[in-house]
Amino acid sequence: MTTPVIELTDVSRDYGEVRALREVTLSIHAGELLAVVGPSGSGKSTLLQLMGTLDRPSTGTVRVHGHDVLALPDRWLSAVRARWIGFVFQQFFLTPYLSAVENVANGLFYHGLRRSVRLRLAEQSLRQVGLGHRVSHRPQELSGGERQRVAIARALVARPSILLADEPTGALDSRSGEEVMALLRELNGDGTTIAVITHDRALAADMPRQVQLFDGRISQDTAAVVVR
């Protein structure tokens, strides 16, 4: 068995007197496509933050590619995120006055690359998500589905091994949502490990693995682990 790309062991997260996550144990292996599903308040966002090293557990252990998050200083955690983890959110978080290629290039801002190199890699990433013809367009000139593709291109431009998508279809119409999910499946087929956080049970049911959260605990895990 290979080392999981993300591994949580007996993880809890407290915010004051509120326990948002309770003794969660979860392993995600390279090449998996899974949904983390649950109602509002179930702990999905907290779990995303812990998996993405945006937060640290109150108790338990979080490991990314075998590295214990609690043992790493902040600057190393920033490097872990920059090298291994890409994020896609329901809100696209695109800068309105920048073109699509400039927005994507911002995903490489802390990698120490020249601007010309960042733009070249950003254009390649936009082509990967089917937007090679929209590189010069600003967000307001793009459809909702296209803006989400720009956000995905930005998450992928540094070639992370893990993509965490938080409600990636939540702000989209049904057709655009289906197109985005088809793109995520295609990216997974190319080897990217993808976890989709969602409240949409129908969307989750189409995933090879579903992890259901309720009241901060994992209530069900189909555990269809595929190790590639």
pLDDT digits (tens, 9 = 90+) for 209-224: 999 999 999 999 998 4
**Residue pair 25/211 in contact by the 8 Å Cβ criterion:** no
pLDDT digits (tens, 9 = 90+) for 149-162: 999 999 999 989 99
Residue 225 confidence (pLDDT): 45
Is the pLDDT confidence value at 228 over 50?
A: no
Spatial separation of the C-alpha atoms in residues 62 and 206, rounded to whole Å: 27
**Residue pair 186/192 in contact by the 8 Å Cβ criterion:** no
**Residue pair 176/142 in contact by the 8 Å Cβ criterion:** no
Sign of the torsion angle spanned by Cα atoms 162, 166, 167, 169: negative
More confident residue, 1 or 220: 220
Backbone angles phi, psi at 15, to 5 degrees: -120, 95
Under DSSP, the state recorded for 73 is -
Look up the pTM and report it.
Answer: 0.90
Coil, helix or strand for 119? helix
Is the pLDDT confidence value at 226 over 60?
A: no
- 6-221, CATH topology level: Rossmann fold (3.40.50)
The three-point CA angle 97-99-104 to 5° equals 115
